[in-house]
């Protein structure tokens, strides 16, 4: 899609350039055209069709008034926020508003019928009058190109309408024989009866297959190409051609031959090839031939009759794919060609051709998220559109330049087939399809810039009688020759020299241009590859992480399972050991019983003896195995017993030392208790002694009072003796204390 961008980078500058070029072109061509008495000169018709928003697009806020139709010829494009154009304009590099003019603009409400009437009808008249016409739709993917060319079963597009109009025109004049067929690009040949037979067989196979497909797939996408039934309610476009006064209706008969092919990845495939063949075999690639006069053509025409008008010719063979931007994106350029042969008195009077081309969508690879096969397709589509752009630019530039630069028609199949139309062999017009989505604004802008260039291409439309393959160019050459013949030889040589220099400069310029274009395409591809690489590495990282996590989980799971298994095995081993022990014991028991029972050996048969022997051997083996196992177990048990003994001894030592310590602690506790008791006693003794002293003091006081009083009190001798004893010998046994206590109690009483 960088096509238009490659051609035009700065809009304002280019507009000025265009204006200049246009002035130049117009002056130069006006001079020339004065001599073209029978020719018609006009710029290429470029129509714009703006498709309506889909519900999804409205839901996604795509409506940001990016496309404003000012009037029937002018449209304004306003860059939405976030678009590359807006960013550039904010940096002061470009403009955020662009105005474009077209031959005619059709808004979102335009019906298919109106579009047909106002765009195709004049070319239709040319075609029916014996002239050639080409209509091609151009635009970004999902802009409505296929809808415009093919339409839908309910609302047929240009193609079914053109066919219908053709049949209306040749009604009652159809040539019944099949013995005249288009030949080379502009010629016809008479067929032998054998060839006619072959043609009839091919035709029957093709249309039977198409009919079958139509019945099978009715209602699917391919029905878009169904030719409108005559009983259809839509009749307006039938009359339009019939009532057209410019169409000459003379005598004679008409044979209509059609070809329908696609250019996919620079290979041409027949879209009318019977489908059965396609299923089993690889599709045959058609050759683009040259008729010797520089006109390329594809020789694959099928005769077409009125009876087949209702037959659905489907484009199910066409290369379609779902891209991020269009679920049913055309991945090829499809070209439908009609050749109308006018036959009168067993001679072909005229041959006219009408080609309708639905170009594949121009697109940005990263926007459409294309990879692999899709990327290859996109590269091929973009390349052929790029060459178409180069041709159109060169055509426009040549108009203002006496030394015409080479137009690279031969660089792609598409431009090879378009060449004759651009060289004056017919009238070409372009329908530019755009959507109004904000997200595709930048691409739409490129398309508009491209169409601005195309609109300035001046076409020379000669009268049929004066027709030669490249009239405009031939006339210029003739003129140059006439001038040259009058020049002296030395001047001629200098002219040749200067021409050589100019040629070299031109070649260099072309090379540089080519290199730049290739570099840009390479860069775009590289960018795409880098982006996809990054995406891949991010995905790989994410995958790695998720696998790592899964691995860890699995590892944990296995760890658990191994633990479980080890536990189960240990349990089983234990049980086995036990079982073996049991069996060993029983074997030993049985062995003992065999030894003692003599009668048993005598009475058993030989077979039983053998079996018993075997069994005995097996048991012996088992026994020895069990013994070995027991031995090892015994050793294990012994070692375990030893460690248990050690542990018990350690435990015993610890217990003993603990009890010793406990005893020591008990003794200490008791000693402490005794000490506290004796302390308590001493305290009590002190208290009692204090009390006794007090009471003795009281007694002494009383006695001193009695000594002074007339009443003589009888002295208490025992008490005094006791006091003396207590005072003088405090360390005496507890009996005195006890007696002291008694005395104190008595004193209290």
Annotated binding-site positions for ATP: 139-146
Q: Select 115 or 626, whichever has its Cβ closest to ligand ATP.
A: 115
- Residue 139 CB, nearest distance to ligand ATP (Å)? 5
d(CA 342, CA 350): 5
**Where on the chain is the footprint of ligand ATP (CB under 6 A)?**
51-52, 139, 141-147, 326, 328-330, 360-361, 433
Q: Select 330 or 405, whichever has its Cβ closest to ligand ATP.
A: 330
d(CA 364, CA 138): 15
- Residue 109 CB, nearest distance to ligand ATP (Å)? 9
- Residue 354 CB, nearest distance to ligand ATP (Å)? 20
Collapsing DSSP states into helix, strand and coil, what is residue 438?
A: helix
d(CA 196, CA 200): 6
- Residue 147 CB, nearest distance to ligand ATP (Å)? 4
Query: Residues 423, 397: contact at Cβ < 8 Å?
Result: no
- Residue 436 CB, nearest distance to ligand ATP (Å)? 11
Q: Which residues contact 703 (CB under 8 A, 6 or more apart)?
A: 713, 715
Query: Residues 304, 257: contact at Cβ < 8 Å?
Result: yes
d(CA 279, CA 213): 13
Collapsing DSSP states into helix, strand and coil, what is residue 82?
A: coil
Q: Select 141 or 383, whichever has its Cβ closest to ligand ATP.
A: 141
Q: Dihedral sign, CA of 78, 83, 84, 90? A: positive
Most distant pair of Cα atoms in the chain: their distance: 200
- Residue 279 CB, nearest distance to ligand ATP (Å)? 24
- Residue 322 CB, nearest distance to ligand ATP (Å)? 9
* Nearest residue to ligand ATP, scored by beta-carbon proximity: 361
Q: Select 108 or 130, whichever has its Cβ closest to ligand ATP.
A: 108
- Residue 149 CB, nearest distance to ligand ATP (Å)? 8
Dihedral (C-alpha) 508, 509, 514, 519: value to the nearest 10 degrees?
Answer: 100
Q: Kindly give the residue spans of alpha helices, DSSP state H, lying in 355-488.
A: 372-399, 413-420, 441-454, 471-486
Q: Select 209 or 435, whichever has its Cβ closest to ligand ATP.
A: 435
Q: What is the DSSP secondary structure assignment for residue 157, as one 8-state letter?
A: -
Q: Which residues contact 182 (CB under 8 A, 6 or more apart)?
A: 188, 257, 301, 339, 341, 351
Query: Residues 86, 95: contact at Cβ < 8 Å?
Result: no
Q: Select 311 or 330, whichever has its Cβ closest to ligand ATP.
A: 330
How many residues belong to the chain?
749
Q: Select 315 or 528, whichever has its Cβ closest to ligand ATP.
A: 315
Radius of gyration of the chain (CA): 58
Beta bridge partners of 140: 362
Q: What is the DSSP secondary structure assignment for residue 98, as one 8-state letter?
A: E
Q: What is the DSSP secondary structure assignment for residue 306, as one 8-state letter?
A: G
Q: Select 179 or 443, whichever has its Cβ closest to ligand ATP.
A: 443
Q: Select 145 or 396, whichever has its Cβ closest to ligand ATP.
A: 145
Q: Select 50 or 206, whichever has its Cβ closest to ligand ATP.
A: 50
Query: Residues 157, 461: contact at Cβ < 8 Å?
Result: no
Closest listed residue to residue 365, CA positions, set 553, 529, 179: 529
Kind and range of the H or E element at 139? strand 133-139
- Residue 169 CB, nearest distance to ligand ATP (Å)? 27
Q: Residue ranges for the binding site? A: 139-146
Q: Select 146 or 528, whichever has its Cβ closest to ligand ATP.
A: 146
520 exposed, middle or buried (CB, 10 Å; 0-12, 13-18, 19+)? middle
- Residue 85 CB, nearest distance to ligand ATP (Å)? 21
- Residue 47 CB, nearest distance to ligand ATP (Å)? 13
Q: Select 317 or 695, whichever has its Cβ closest to ligand ATP.
A: 317
Q: With left for phi above 0 and alpha for psi between -120 and 50, is residue 318 left, alpha or beta? A: beta
Question: How remote is the C-alpha of 661 from its chain's centroid?
Answer: 83
Q: What's the 3-state SS for 248-304?
A: CCCCCEEEEEEEEEEEECCEEEECCCCHHHHHHCCCCEECEEECCCCCEEECCCEEE
Q: Select 328 or 649, whichever has its Cβ closest to ligand ATP.
A: 328
Closest listed residue to residue 519, CA positions, set 139, 83, 2: 2
Q: Dihedral sign, CA of 418, 260, 192, 353? A: negative
d(CA 517, CA 519): 5
d(CA 390, CA 420): 16
């Amino acid at each position: 899609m960088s096509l238009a961008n490659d051609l035009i980078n700065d809009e304002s500058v280019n507009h000025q350039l265009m204006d200049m070029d246009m002035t130049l072109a117009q002056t130069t061509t006006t001079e020339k055209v004065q001599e073209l008495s029978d020719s018609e000169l006009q710029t290429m018709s470029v129509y714009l069709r703006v498709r309506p928003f889909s519900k999804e697009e409205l839901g996604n806020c795509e409506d940001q008034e990016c496309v404003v139709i000012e009037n029937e010829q002018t449209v304004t494009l306003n860059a939405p926020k976030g678009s590359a154009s807006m960013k550039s304009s904010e940096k002061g590099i470009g403009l955020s508003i662009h105005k474009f003019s077209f031959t005619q603009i059709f808004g979102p409400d335009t019906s298919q019928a109106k579009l047909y009437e106002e765009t195709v009808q004049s070319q239709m008249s040319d075609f029916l009058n014996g002239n050639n016409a080409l209509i091609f739709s151009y635009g970004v993917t999902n802009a409505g190109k296929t809808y415009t060319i093919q339409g839908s079963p309910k609302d047929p597009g240009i193609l079914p309408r053109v066919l219908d109009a053709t049949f209306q025109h040749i009604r009652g004049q159809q040539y019944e024989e099949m013995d005249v067929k288009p030949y080379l690009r502009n010629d016809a040949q008479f067929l032998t009866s054998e060839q006619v037979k072959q043609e009839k067989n091919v035709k029957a196979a093709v249309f039977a297959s198409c009919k079958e497909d139509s019945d099978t797939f009715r209602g699917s996408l391919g029905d878009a190409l169904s030719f409108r039934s005559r009983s259809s309610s839509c009749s307006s476009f039938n009359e339009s051609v019939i009532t057209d006064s410019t169409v000459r209706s003379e005598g004679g008969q008409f044979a209509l031959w059609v070809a329908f092919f696609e250019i996919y990845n620079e290979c041409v495939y027949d879209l009318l090839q019977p489908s059965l063949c396609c299923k089993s075999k690889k599709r045959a690639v058609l050759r683009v031939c040259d008729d010797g006069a520089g006109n390329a053509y594809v020789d694959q025409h099928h005769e077409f009759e009125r009876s087949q008008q209702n037959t659905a010719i489907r484009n199910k063979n066409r290369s379609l794919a779902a891209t991020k931007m269009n679920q049913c994106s055309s991945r090829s350029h499809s070209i439908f060609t009609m050749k109308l042969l006018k036959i009168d008195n067993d001679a072909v009077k005229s041959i006219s051709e009408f080609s309708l081309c639905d170009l594949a969508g121009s697109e940005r690879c990263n926007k459409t998220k294309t990879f692999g096969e899709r990327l290859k397709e996109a590269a091929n589509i973009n390349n052929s559109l790029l060459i178409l752009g180069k041709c159109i630019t060169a055509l426009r530039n040549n108009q203002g330049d006496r030394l015409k630069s080479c137009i690279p028609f031969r660089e792609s199949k598409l431009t090879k087939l378009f060449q004759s139309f651009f060289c004056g062999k017919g009238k070409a017009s372009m329908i530019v399809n755009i959507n109004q989505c904000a997200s595709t604004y930048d691409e739409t802008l490129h398309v508009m810039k491209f169409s601005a260039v195309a609109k300035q291409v001046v076409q020379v439309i000669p009268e049929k009688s004066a027709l030669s393959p490249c009239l405009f160019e031939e006339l210029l050459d003739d003129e140059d020759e006439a001038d040259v013949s009058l020049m002296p030889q030395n001047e001629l040589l200098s002219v040749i020299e200067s021409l050589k220099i100019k040629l070299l400069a031109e070649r260099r310029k072309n090379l540089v241009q080519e290199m730049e274009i290739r570099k840009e395409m390479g860069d775009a591809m590289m960018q795409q590859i880098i982006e996809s690489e990054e995406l891949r590495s991010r995905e790989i990282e994410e995958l790695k992480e998720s696998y790592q996590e899964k691995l860890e989980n699995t590892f944990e799971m296995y760890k658990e399972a191994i633990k479980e298994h080890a536990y189960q095995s240990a349990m089983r081993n234990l049980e086995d050991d036990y079982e073996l022990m049991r069996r060993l014991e029983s074997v030993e028991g049985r062995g003992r019983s065999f030894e003692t029972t003599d009668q048993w050996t005598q009475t058993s048969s030989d077979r039983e003896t053998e079996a018993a022997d075997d069994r005995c051997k097996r048991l012996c083996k088992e026994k020895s195995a069990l013994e070995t196992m027991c031995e090892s177990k015994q050793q294990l048990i012994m070692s375990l017993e030893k460690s248990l003994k050690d542990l018990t001894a350690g435990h015993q030592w610890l217990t003993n030392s603990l009890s010793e310590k406990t005893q020591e602690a008990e003794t200490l506790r008791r000693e402490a208790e005794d000490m506290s008791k004796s302390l308590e006693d001493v305290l009590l003794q002190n208290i009692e002694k204090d009390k006794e002293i007090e009471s003795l003091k009281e007694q002494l006081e009383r006695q001193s009072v009695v000594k002074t009083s007339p009443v003589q009190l009888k002295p208490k001798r025992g008490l005094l003796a006791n006091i003396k004893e207590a005072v003088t010998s405090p360390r005496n046994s507890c009996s005195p204390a006890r007696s002291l206590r008694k005395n104190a109690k008595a004193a209290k009483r």
